[in-house]
Chains A and B, each alone.
Chain A
Amino acid sequence: MSRHTADVVIVGGGLIGVWTAFFLARRKQRVVLIEKGVVGAQSSGTNFGNLRLQGRFPGQYPLSLRSQALWEEIEALIGEDCEFAQTGHLYLAYDDEERAKLEGYAQVSESHGLTIERLGPSDLRKRWPWLSEQAVAATFSARDATANPRLVTPAVARAARALGVTIIENACVTDVERSSGGFSVKTADGAHWSSSALVNAAGAWAVAIAERFGETAPIIPAGPPQFVTEPFPYLVEPSIQSVDGSVIFRQIPRGNIILAGYPRTAADPVNHRAPVPPAKTLAAMRALARVAPILAQCHVIRVWSGIEGYLPDMIPVIGPSLTMPGLFHAFGFCGHGFQIGPGVGLCLSEMIVEGATSTPLEPFSIGRFRESVAVSEKFRKEFDGA
């Protein structure tokens, strides 16, 4: 049995884990990141790749904006191209109720200093003449962006490794416990790590670690079904989303159109499978053809999904454990962790090394699950039990 020590052990090699490792290493910490599979294989690598600032949970804006600033300099930060592109994001409303929802989102965004453009049907026709004419209103945020989720996590992991982080792939954590002055983490291959701080970034598998220290959260594993078409002449510049969530789509420079849509689909965290039911593929195809009839003849060539952790109030757990000093949680990102990933990593590194972060993270405390939590309307809409 090999024994090692570190300042911080991070469990989980998704986007959250690798960014946390990166910022801790920049703060001169000795960091070990343990991943049961390979880095970025689950929701971090299989999501839509959207860096949307509009329409987020209001309490998340300080974190979200801090994170976007990191995304905007990602290549300088990590020294690799992750296909980051500031394409903007267009939200579409199809009736008065949706128009009101968009207006609400826009006002929240503006209160945090974002520039939101409001568009009517005639503006839409001028700028995107190929959109169906059914939309009654839209908002556009030019600062919203996209990146390639397949590339980001391994690239950040490489940057972290270059800063001295030890990254261990294909190592399953078998035991986590308190030890004198901190934590002791064992992996299936018999390795044994001692550290003064522990970051629980284990995604859909994180609750098992929280429960070792007397805390829990009602996490639900689910998959975000994603679809991609054959390449098509370049047409769609921004990310475009129906505000009811039925479809979101973007076109990559190669010409393929990536699309996704609710409802989300069941995932199996035991066998690591998140199959996409064919009915959902058809529903996403219908939804895209409704928004962009010009794409009706475009073929879907591939579908995929991954395993994400969801919580009933549709906001993640981020911050210190309330039962165990030195333990920090960051999991349950409910399908919107990609945009805030870098910011979460930065805030966690500040908490661990400096003892506090200036970004308000109280709404994300694990403590909220001590009482029964209100189920968000968003949660009801995004799951259909299938």
Chain B
Amino acid sequence: MAEIVVVGAGPAGINATERLCAHGHRVVLVDEGRQAGGQGYRRPSPGLDLDMAALMGTEAGKYEALHARFARLLPLIDYRPQTLVWAVEDNMLHVVQAGVASTLRFDVLVLATGAMDKVAPFPGWTLPGVFTLGGAQVALKDQGCLIGRRVAFLGSSPLLALAAAQYRKLGCEIVAIADTTPFASKLAALPALAQSPRTLWRGLSYLAGAMLAGVPVLHGVTPVEVVGDGHVEALILRDRRGRERHFSCDAIALGYGLKPETQLAELAGATLRFDEAFRLWLPQCDADGRAAPGLYLAGDGAAIGGADAAEASGGLVAMAVLADLGESVDERARLELRRRLARLRGFQKGLAKAFTWPVAQIRALPDEVMLCRCEEVRIGEVRQAMAQQLGPVEINRVKAMTRCGMGRCQGRVCGPALQEIVAGAAGVAGEQAGRLRAQAPVKPIALCVAGEAP
């Protein structure tokens, strides 16, 4: 019997696990979270009385269904919550659980590691009160907390309107939804977005709801500055006509879409390639999620597609595993899933055009803007290091010289912006700047987890 380990208990990981179990396999499901569900389908903390049905809106049915399926699956699997996978080496995962390091052997590794926010820095973004958009949603779903009473949503992502709608339901005042991508780009992306009319309609309805409630909705903005004395007090933007707009607020949710968590995939042997649409280094897999022998990638950790795509890709990956183990799979179901996944991910490609990563805005940022919060490196320090004689031009060398991307988050937060700053300063396309290489530990681990010296 092959040792199958699935990492990540969101819709992709749960669906893959369920299918593999149905074929009589014993699966170890490892998850960093306290409860299954991943980010999008996150369950509130135990004992917290949150009306999730209201919060999840149109997705409430899927949310309940996933958690009900997981409850049925639980007795059949070796489920390990609150377990961090910090390294992969050969056929071994290195994990930390309950403060103790141990290893977990596998023959087949399914990574469903999900995604995190993509953020672009701008003046004042490190002030307390600025949250990532995902962080704002975690505070809400996990703890029933709002990040502020009067919140501005800024960035470029369909999730801005979604999160704002969730916040509005809980009585938060939304002072603005401001998107850096011009409206014309959204119109141009409509044919691609029409591949998934239901999702398109949902996105439009969130925006319409905000507008009906009198929330200012702006497209094509340029973030100017977050101002405040020790805490967010206002967001200043330039609108598409170049007028400066001032929004008084006590918190800002900042998000430019999602970025796959690819570190484990990279350590496990996946090849990464620069994707021009997302402007990110993404792991390469075939249509079913095969990335390397014995390595399968599913969900947003492989390619951003959202919850429905994650679920489909989890199913496909499970079928690929079964087929590779010599078992028979339902070819018709497989073709149907492939079609569905291609459509959903195609929709995301459309979204990447409608909600663009603001390359020009980032490259034009002034020197004094903080780029790397962990190591407190400003954009000017990177440009200065690169401009000197024999200065670095490749991103890993830039990291070595400036410490940008060298801190607690290992470039997971500043990486995409650093990519643009380096490419801009070197005068090359994004890809030629190189890729920040993943290193274990993928997240910090305390000395004491290693145990006592002999």
Q: Which residues of A contact B (CB under 8 A)?
A: 38-39, 41, 45, 150-151, 154, 157-158, 161, 167, 169, 228-230, 246, 254, 276-278, 281-283, 285-290, 295-304
Contact = CB atoms under 8 A, between A and B. Distances in A.
Contacts of A154: 390-391, 401
5 contacts: A228-B406, A285-B445, A289-B453, A296-B447, A303-B439
Nearest to B391: A154
Contact of B439 (A41, A151, A290, A302): A302
Interface residues of B, number: 32
B63 to A, nearest CB: 34
A272 B298 CA distance: 30
A127 B87 CA distance: 37
Given A157-B390, A169-B390, A278-B87, A299 B450 contact: no
Given A157-B390, A301-B408, A286 B450 contact: yes
> Looking at chain B's contact residues, is the secondary structure mostly helix, strand, loop, or mixed?
loop
Contacts of A295: 447
Interface in B86-110: 86-87, 89, 94, 101
A298 B447 contact: yes
A295 B389 CA distance: 39
B380 interface: no
A286 B451 contact: yes
Given A161-B389, A298-B447, A38 B452 contact: no
B276 to A, nearest CB: 25
A252 to B, nearest CB: 10
Nearest to A229: B447
B452 A286 contact: yes
Interface in B381-439: 388-392, 394, 397, 400-401, 406-408, 410, 439
B446 interface: yes
A297 to B, nearest CB: 5
A290 B451 CA distance: 10
B191 interface: no
A278 B86 contact: yes
A167 B390 CA distance: 9
A304 B407 CA distance: 13
Nearest to A167: B390
A272 to B, nearest CB: 12
Contacts of B452: 286, 289-290
B447 A281 contact: no
A228 B441 CA distance: 11
A70 to B, nearest CB: 20
Given A289-B448, A299-B444, A38 B392 contact: yes
Contact of B446 (A150, A161, A298): A298
B450 A285 contact: yes
B444 A277 contact: no
Contact of B440 (A39, A41, A278, A298): A278
Contacts of B397: 38, 41
A301 B400 CA distance: 15
A158 B94 contact: no
A384 B361 CA distance: 51
Contacts of B448: 289, 296-297
Contacts of B453: 246, 286-287, 289-290
A301 B446 contact: no
Contact of A281 (B388, B391, B441): B441
Given A38-B390, A289-B447, A290-B452, 17 more contacts: A38-B397, A45-B400, A150-B400, A150-B401, A154-B390, A158-B389, A278-B89, A281-B440, A282-B451, A283-B450, A286-B447, A286-B451, A286-B453, A289-B450, A289-B452, A297-B448, A298-B446
Contacts of B401: 150-151, 154
Nearest to B401: A150
A302 B404 CA distance: 13
A188 B195 CA distance: 50
B140 to A, nearest CB: 28
A164 B439 CA distance: 38
A301 B101 contact: no
B445 A299 contact: yes
B439 A158 contact: no
A277 B94 CA distance: 10
B375 to A, nearest CB: 8
A301 to B, nearest CB: 5
Contacts of B444: 230, 299-301
A160 B235 CA distance: 49
Contacts of B389: 158, 161
B447 A300 contact: yes
Contact of A302 (B94, B406, B447, B449): B406
Nearest to B451: A286
A39 B388 CA distance: 14
A163 to B, nearest CB: 12
A9 B334 CA distance: 62
A301 B407 contact: yes
Contacts of A228: 406
A276 B451 contact: no
